[in-house]
Structure 1
Amino acid sequence: MNLKEAITNPVFKTIGTTADEQGLDCYVIGGFVRDFLLKRGIAKDIDIVAVGSGIELAKAISKKLRGNTEVSVFKNFGTAMIKYEGLELEFVGARKESYQRNSRNPIVEDGTLEDDQNRRDFTINALAISLSSTNYGLLLDPFNGLSDLDKKILRTPLEPSLTYSDDPLRMMRAIRFATQLNFKIEEQSLKAITENKERINIISKERIVDELHKIIQSDKPSIGFSLLHLTGLLQIILPELTALQGIDEIEGQKHKDNFWHTLEVVDNISKTTDNLWLRWAALLHDIGKAPTKRFDKKIGWTFHAHEFVGSKMVFKLFKRLRMPLNDKMKFVQKMVLMSSRPVILSEDHVTDAAVRRLVFDAGDYVDNLMTLCEADITTKNPKKQKRYLKNFQIVRKKIIEVEERDRIRNFQPPVSGEEIMKTFDLKPSKEIGIIKEAIKEAILTGEIANEHDEAFEYMLVEGEKIGLKPVSL
């Protein structure tokens, strides 16, 4: 098969002619070829394999491209990168690899194109298109990757257990590709992942998280998390999630399977937002239910304070996986902590005071919180689902009304601490905090408006209650 239509960009001709001048065979390989054949659009990151020095080829090509494009050389990896007109061209010499048991970093030697294709993770990523003038555009497919693309199958070029044991990150990549492309992992390959699951422990947390991010950002993340669970990888990586699996029954009373419920929630939220960290919040929103699960003879199964416990678990989980412990982690914590608040509001008569407090506590994240709660509706009863969604719309409308009227989001007290100190001739003290808290509560409950004059009058009353007298008015 000839795929000249895949390589119409003039840069490919430049690469091919330069390789010819240096006496090298040269190919575009991997994801670019795969995505073109899958009609997923033209990839911007392009892998070029030369049977010879990829670094020297990149240097020669950079001199021919407009503006003598700069080359970034990564000697440790034997690669070179050229960024050109929105493309990232990565050059590498064809190589063969061998691995030691305790490391995924291979011992690399120069090799043939066949050696290079052998070391690829999946047959669909071993497809190569020649850039040499003698057979420009020719597709080289030694492992029937074209057939696997057509059948939507993920299969390793070599024996799967060897492929995954050598580089265990490929297990995560297999599941990630299955999720993104909606492909099936070939049976022997899936079995090999299960058999080699413990090997994932030699992979850095950062690389594992990178694959988790890609799974979470897919259209239907549950595909990936189901496969991670099926192979046993999830128990190693995110035991907080697998702890949610299962249904217990005592005296005829059951609770829902919170693991499979969680995956439904993540799929639901993925239909409405691309926010990675909000999707993480959906994945972790119920992790506090496993440690807080109790059975009460009078009321059945309970998960008291699971939101609070879950928010504390988020920090430990992020730290263990070396994820950012900054505002992103705090956002996920807040979403988990508040995940049930709008649910309670939607079940009762929605009061202004309750909505004001929700907006005050959630701040700029109140819309994200509502999105999470709407995704949390997984009932299969159409009437219940319609009712819950309608109730949440009422809460959303109330949030807008209260916010326009009372300006609670990112609340700043209308009377400052300095003004309290000046009025009562105080130095920094606990009395200032008591008065500020009283003013805040009065505004949130609707006792006074969120404006200076009413708040000032209220301050005088509260000051008198704790024995303070104004020195000047």
Structure 2
Amino acid sequence: MSAPEPRARTVVELQQAVEAELARLAPVVDALGEVFAAAGHELALVGGPVRDAMLGRPHHDLDFATSARPDDTEKLLSAWGDATWDMGRDFGTIGCRKGEWTVEVTTYRSEAYDPDSRKPTVDFGDSLAGDLGRRDFTVNAMAVRVPGRVVEDPFGGVVDLAQGVLRTPGTPEASFSDDPLRMLRAARFAAQLGFEVAPEVVAAMTDMAARIEIISAERVRDELVKLVCAPWPRLGLTLLVETGLASYVLPELPALALERDEHHRHKDVYEHTLTVLEQAIDLEPRLGTDGPDFVSRFAALMHDVGKPKTRRFVDDGTVTFHHHDVVGAKITRKRMQALRFSKEETEAVSSLVELHLRFHGYGSGEWTDSAVRRYVRDAGDQLARLHVLTRADCTTRNRRKADALRRAYDDLEARIAVLQEQEELDSIRPDLDGNQIMELLGIGPGREVGEAYRFLLELRLDHGPMSTEDATAALRAWWAERSA
């Protein structure tokens, strides 16, 4: 997946696009604008909805800015909408649902970070221009006043949108000092929109990268998820590495750019990783899910992070990375825990990293059915993602080798499908349950039941389903030998 080549748009085309989208939004934006105007307040559609309207991307979640204070906003929305909420009241935001639309209205404001604080201080403002001036990028600093539908663009966002460039309304140094998370957002928007980041913005990101350390792990995590799930994550990830930001938020990524040794040769692990990520994205339709799949993408990004710690030089000029799968799983788990990912996501990604090399013992089909069953058992509910990761991990330019690997994995998947149909591999378990084990052996709950269960499970994996009589005989024989 190469970097996008955005089609050049004229300012007139952008204006026509926003007019068409505003016509679609008219039942909501004009009606709400009239409600606020009747109460003596200003209201304007702002941010992402305006930007995406110009790009021809429809929205059902609408953001507004207003001169009204939160208490007044809540009264107006309560009377107009179907339901309201005020979780963002401390930041001046009141939410509302109106039919199929989700609306958030925020009082004009300005934010700034104390140099040592993770949380912004909020001051309410009195003008739309002042509110737009505190936003992250010019393409997000446009507004449409309603109900009159007057476009406000004090910082040239329309031109930057037409040219596909990310700039800040003021100096990038001031913007990133106010909210360092905006540096990550620059990378995220580059990945989402396929835009170029202006040189002065890149320079400020490089000079101020260390300031990202004051931002909470949760906010960093959320931006990384959006970046990884964007259409062109390579653009954003490359920007993070080149500016040094990745060294603070995802240091395992730049560490993959291993220093070359003149006597030893091996694949560029950093470039290989980005290619694997792009190939995993291309394979996402295999998962049958709607939209991007973060777990499979992040597993592709992290699958080789164990290589720097396991690299060893061999006298014959080769390089080894023994056990980098196991080491990488531990590194991945630690990083995801530090970023406050959920336990479920952390275990899913770490498991995929640990299993990503397992297929390479398959050869041309030498695995027994027992080995195939264990592959399915160990993958568990991540089997479909493991299929994607394993296929994406082939980046060789040798067409014959690539075709051989693809055919081998086709064969493995076919064998898994046959065994799943015959043996219900997705819910593989011993042929006797815990109650039957205790009754046959005359024992109560305890360690011995667990040992017997594991013995029967291994027997099931080795030989497939057994009759109750055969499983009973095998269990009695094992118990007798164990007792002796």
TM-score when scaled to structure 1? 0.90
Checking the alignment, whether the CA contact within 8 Å between 1:130 and 1:137 is kept in structure 2 is: yes
Q: Secondary structure of 1:76's partner?
A: helix
Counterpart Cα distance in 2 of 1:83 and 1:292: 53
148-157 or 361-370: which moved more? 361-370
Q: Tell me, yes or no, if structure 1 residue 320 matches structure 2 residue 329.
A: no
* Deviation for aligned residue 1:165: 1.5
143-152 or 214-223: which moved more? 214-223
Q: Secondary structure of 1:70's partner?
A: strand
Checking the alignment, whether the CA contact within 8 Å between 2:73 and 2:94 is kept in structure 1 is: no
Q: Which residue of 1 aligns with 2:3?
A: none
Q: Could you list the per-position Cα deviations for residues 342-364 of structure 1 after superposition, in whole angstroms to 9, with x for gaps in the alignment?
A: 23214552432221221122223
**Size of the alignment, in residue pairs?**
459
Checking the alignment, whether the CA contact within 8 Å between 1:46 and 1:87 is kept in structure 2 is: yes
422-431 or 261-270: which moved more? 422-431
Q: Secondary structure of 1:223's partner?
A: helix
Q: Tell me, yes or no, if structure 1 residue 208 matches structure 2 residue 220.
A: yes
Counterpart Cα distance in 1 of 2:438 and 2:96: 62
Q: Tell me, yes or no, if structure 1 residue 111 matches structure 2 residue 126.
A: yes
* Deviation for aligned residue 1:254: 1.3
Letter paired with 2:20: E
Q: Secondary structure of 1:80's partner?
A: strand
Checking the alignment, whether the CA contact within 8 Å between 2:62 and 2:104 is kept in structure 1 is: yes
Counterpart Cα distance in 1 of 2:442 and 2:125: 81
Q: Secondary structure of 2:158's partner?
A: helix
Q: Tell me, yes or no, if structure 1 residue 258 matches structure 2 residue 263.
A: no
Checking the alignment, whether the CA contact within 8 Å between 2:420 and 2:426 is kept in structure 1 is: yes
Counterpart Cα distance in 2 of 1:377 and 1:263: 12
Q: Could you list the per-position Cα deviations for residues 67-94 of structure 1 after superposition, in whole angstroms to 9, with x for gaps in the alignment?
A: 5x43536431122111112222111222
Counterpart Cα distance in 2 of 1:368 and 1:451: 33
Q: Could you list the per-position Cα deviations for residues 343-397 of structure 1 after superposition, in whole angstroms to 9, with x for gaps in the alignment?
A: 3214552432221221122223222211110111111233322221121111100
Q: Which residue of 1 aligns with 2:162?
A: 150
Q: Tell me, yes or no, if structure 1 residue 290 matches structure 2 residue 308.
A: yes
Change (3 A) 1:51 1:430: closer
238-247 or 147-156: which moved more? 238-247
Q: Tell me, yes or no, if structure 1 residue 51 matches structure 2 residue 67.
A: yes
1:70-469 matches, cutoff 5 A: 70=84, 72=86, 74-103=88-117, 105-132=120-147, 136-249=148-261, 252-273=263-284, 274-297=292-315, 300-324=318-342, 326-426=343-443, 432-446=449-463, 449-467=465-483
Checking the alignment, whether the CA contact within 8 Å between 1:96 and 1:111 is kept in structure 2 is: no
Checking the alignment, whether the CA contact within 8 Å between 1:55 and 1:73 is kept in structure 2 is: no
Change (3 A) 1:381 1:288: same
Checking the alignment, whether the CA contact within 8 Å between 2:437 and 2:449 is kept in structure 1 is: yes
Change (3 A) 1:101 1:449: closer
17-26 or 93-102: which moved more? 93-102
Change (3 A) 1:184 1:450: farther
Checking the alignment, whether the CA contact within 8 Å between 2:111 and 2:120 is kept in structure 1 is: no
Q: Which residue of 2 aligns with 1:5?
A: 20
* Deviation for aligned residue 1:240: 2.0
Letter paired with 1:25: E
* Deviation for aligned residue 1:419: 3.3
TM-score when scaled to structure 2? 0.88
Counterpart Cα distance in 1 of 2:46 and 2:166: 17
Change (3 A) 1:346 1:225: farther
Counterpart Cα distance in 2 of 1:11 and 1:346: 61
Q: Which residue of 2 aligns with 1:471?
A: none
* Deviation for aligned residue 1:421: 3.9
361-370 or 207-216: which moved more? 361-370
* Deviation for aligned residue 1:173: 0.8
Identical columns (%)? 32
Checking the alignment, whether the CA contact within 8 Å between 1:278 and 1:368 is kept in structure 2 is: yes
459-468 or 5-14: which moved more? 459-468
Checking the alignment, whether the CA contact within 8 Å between 1:14 and 1:61 is kept in structure 2 is: no
* Deviation for aligned residue 1:264: 1.3
Counterpart Cα distance in 2 of 1:220 and 1:75: 34
* Deviation for aligned residue 1:211: 0.5
Counterpart Cα distance in 1 of 2:304 and 2:64: 45
Q: Secondary structure of 1:239's partner?
A: coil
Change (3 A) 1:440 1:137: same
412-421 or 237-246: which moved more? 412-421
Change (3 A) 1:299 1:412: farther
Q: Could you list the per-position Cα deviations for residues 180-238 of structure 1 after superposition, in whole angstroms to 9, with x for gaps in the alignment?
A: 00000011111111111111011111011000000111123222111110110111111
Letter paired with 1:266: L
Runs of at least 5 residues in structure 2 that lack an aligned partner in the other structure: 1-14, 285-291
Checking the alignment, whether the CA contact within 8 Å between 1:219 and 1:267 is kept in structure 2 is: no
Counterpart Cα distance in 1 of 2:327 and 2:416: 27
Counterpart Cα distance in 1 of 2:366 and 2:65: 65
Q: Secondary structure of 2:86's partner?
A: strand
Q: Which residue of 1 aligns with 2:288?
A: none
Runs of at least 5 residues in structure 1 that lack an aligned partner in the other structure: 469-473
Letter paired with 1:456: T
- Alignment counterpart, residue 33 of structure 2, candidates 8, 13, 16: 16
Counterpart Cα distance in 2 of 1:152 and 1:111: 31
Change (3 A) 1:299 1:191: closer
Checking the alignment, whether the CA contact within 8 Å between 1:343 and 1:373 is kept in structure 2 is: no
Letter paired with 2:95: M
Letter paired with 1:263: L
Checking the alignment, whether the CA contact within 8 Å between 2:155 and 2:169 is kept in structure 1 is: yes
Letter paired with 2:418: E
Change (3 A) 1:451 1:305: farther
Checking the alignment, whether the CA contact within 8 Å between 1:346 and 1:395 is kept in structure 2 is: no
Counterpart Cα distance in 2 of 1:117 and 1:105: 17
1:62-73 matches, cutoff 5 A: 62-65=78-81, 69-70=83-84, 72=86
Letter paired with 1:208: V
Q: Could you list the per-position Cα deviations for residues 322-346 of structure 1 after superposition, in whole angstroms to 9, with x for gaps in the alignment?
A: 222x222221221111111123214
